[in-house]
């Protein structure tokens, strides 16, 4: 009881998630028979994993890709593919996020990199600035769903009966479905400023394709090598870093040796924030297991819910609410160790459930008051949070619709993993 109260109070006053969890555990230890020395031991034990090393490596690979001149080439490729369609620039925005997803795996990085180019460009073509910012934030949710994805790696680390390759494959179709749904929305409902753009000629398209092949080869190489069983996710992440360095320094030559210290320090900072949360949550999960909390919650839930469909509806509602207040990875680390066993006991496919959880919590990136992508997009657009929230609501409803589809049509999620034998 005292742990829960301490955690809620600290989160309410804006304390960092990792510190709130650690102090909550300390309160539990102080009221029990454990030594406080056990807390740092469990925190470091939670980070002592070879697979976890993939997270800072993928973060670094994404930073290197962003600094290598790849963003402009990705946008040019998307423009060649869909730029001539109605609401062309909006379509390019969406499908640039799809391509960018295979490079960074981060919604926030996607919003920042693409938003700085698209928000002013779309405004020049007649799109309202708040609409451009909202579309950029909404399409960036695709980033952590299409592999490679840091949330997927984290989910696989904290659960049983589910693998990183299976989740990577499972995220492809839902990510593409979300992109298609957003494209349909802007195609049919954005009529006032959706003038068709001029098609690229054959030479321009060929140039865009040629320049786009090099960035696109990275996710193909990473995912393909993992699926083929050649490398582990951690080893694939190290190859991704090497590939990004070679492309940036020697192929595109837009990455300078002098840029590397800043890139490495930024990746170190971002990785540290993720890893310290993982360590504290691992410690919290150990103490909760010792106290029998997951078992008690499972028995309570199963006493009232005996239908997989009802459970999934309740989970969706709960995660959408949690996403309003907690950052996605933190929420995943806290809730998944409790919810995953319940899903398995109800016969829900673990891969299907994993994608539902990840998709849910990534939607939280565009919902106020804690939606990180909203803040990043507003920082670029400068339209004010009230206008951002109003503009994002139609896109939120589109993403909610896709969430319901993948929830109740599990074949959309499980088709590719089953095809590859997972």
- CA dist 209 and 15 (Å) reads 47
Place of tokens 């999960």: 285
Residue 34, in any domain of the structure:
no
Task: Name the domain count of the chain.
Answer: 1
Could you tell me which of 383, 375, 307, 374 has the C-alpha nearest to residue 345? 307
Residue 7, in any domain of the structure:
no
Return the pLDDT at 197: 56
Note every long-range contact of 264-273, with CB atoms under 8 Å and residues 24 or more positions apart, other chains counting: 264/60, 266/63, 267/56, 267/59, 267/60, 267/62, 267/63, 268/56, 270/59, 270/63, 271/55, 271/56, 271/59, 271/60, 273/18
- Domain of 162? 51-273+292-419
DSSP string, 44-82: HHHH--TGGGHHHHHHHHHHHHHTTTHHHHHHHHHHHHH
Return the pLDDT at 33: 61
**Structure token digits, residue 275:** 């890893």
Residue 21, in any domain of the structure:
no
Return the pLDDT at 102: 65
Return the pLDDT at 349: 92
Could you tell me which of 93, 167, 175 has the C-alpha nearest to residue 340? 167
Cβ 351 vs Cβ 422: under 8 Å: yes
Residue 26, in any domain of the structure:
no
- CA dist 232 and 103 (Å) reads 18
Residue 164, in any domain of the structure:
yes
Return the pLDDT at 302: 66
List Cα–Cα distances, 58 to 24, 92, 264, 288, 307, in angstroms.
30, 25, 12, 30, 38
Residue 46, in any domain of the structure:
no
> Per-residue pLDDT for the chain (422 aa), expressed as one digit of tens each?
566 666 667 666 666 667 777 777 777 776 666 677 777 787 787 777 777 777 788 778 777 877 777 767 777 777 676 656 667 778 878 887 887 776 666 677 777 777 777 788 778 777 888 888 999 889 888 888 888 788 888 888 888 778 888 998 999 999 999 999 998 898 887 765 555 556 666 676 677 777 777 777 777 777 778 777 787 777 888 888 888 888 888 888 888 888 888 888 888 887 777 777 777 777 776 776 676 666 666 666 667 777 888 889 888 888 888 777 676 777 787 788 888 888 888 889 999 999 999 999 889 888 876 677 887 888 788 888 788 888 899 999 999 999 999 999 999 999 999 888 87
- CA dist 223 and 233 (Å) reads 9
The 8-class DSSP code of residue 249 comes to I
Residue 130, in any domain of the structure:
yes
190 phi-psi bin (left φ>0, alpha ψ -120 to 50, beta other): beta
């Amino acid at each position: 009881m005292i742990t829960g109260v301490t955690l809620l109070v600290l989160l309410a006053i804006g304390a960092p998630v990792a510190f709130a969890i650690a102090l909550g555990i300390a309160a539990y230890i102080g009221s029990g028979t454990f030594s406080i020395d056990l807390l740092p031991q469990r925190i470091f034990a939670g980070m002592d994993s070879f697979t976890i090393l993939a997270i800072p490596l993928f973060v670094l690979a994404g930073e290197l890709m962003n600094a290598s001149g790849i963003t402009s080439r990705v946008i040019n490729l998307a423009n060649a593919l869909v730029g001539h369609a109605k609401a062309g620039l909006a379509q390019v925005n969406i499908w640039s996020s799809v391509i960018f997803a295979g490079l960074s795996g981060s919604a926030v990085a996607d919003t920042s990199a693409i938003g700085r180019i698209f928000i002013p460009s779309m405004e020049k073509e007649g799109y309202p600035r708040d609409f451009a910012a909202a579309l950029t934030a909404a399409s960036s949710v695709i980033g952590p769903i299409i592999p490679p994805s840091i949330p997927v790696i984290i989910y696989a680390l904290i659960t049983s009966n589910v693998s990183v390759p299976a989740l990577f494959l499972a995220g492809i179709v839902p990510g593409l479905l979300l992109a298609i749904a957003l494209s349909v929305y802007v195609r049919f409902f954005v009529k006032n400023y959706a003038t068709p753009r001029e098609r690229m000629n054959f030479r321009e398209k060929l140039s865009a394709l040629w320049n786009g092949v090099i960035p696109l080869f990275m996710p193909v190489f990473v995912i393909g090598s993992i699926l083929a069983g050649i490398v582990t996710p951690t080893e694939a992440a190290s190859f991704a870093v090497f590939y990004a360095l070679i492309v940036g320094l020697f192929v595109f030559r837009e990455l300078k040796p002098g840029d590397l210290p800043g890139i490495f320090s930024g990746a170190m900072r971002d990785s540290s924030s993720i890893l310290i949360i993982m360590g504290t949550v691992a410690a919290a999960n150990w103490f909760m297991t010792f106290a029998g909390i997951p078992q008690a919650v499972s028995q309570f839930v199963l006493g009232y819910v005996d239908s997989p469909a009802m459970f999934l509806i309740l989970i969706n509602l709960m995660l959408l609410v949690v996403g309003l207040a907690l950052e996605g990875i933190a929420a995943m680390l806290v809730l998944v160790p409790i919810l995953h066993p319940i899903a398995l006991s109800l016969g829900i496919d673990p891969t299907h459930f994993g994608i539902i959880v990840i998709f849910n919590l990534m939607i939280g990136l565009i919902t106020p008051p804690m939606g990180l992508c909203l803040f990043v997009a507003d920082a670029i657009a400068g339209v004010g949070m009230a206008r951002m929230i109003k503009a994002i609501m139609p896109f939120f409803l589109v993403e909610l619709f896709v969430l319901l589809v993948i929830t109740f049509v599990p074949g959309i999620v499980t088709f590719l993993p089953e095809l590859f034998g997972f």
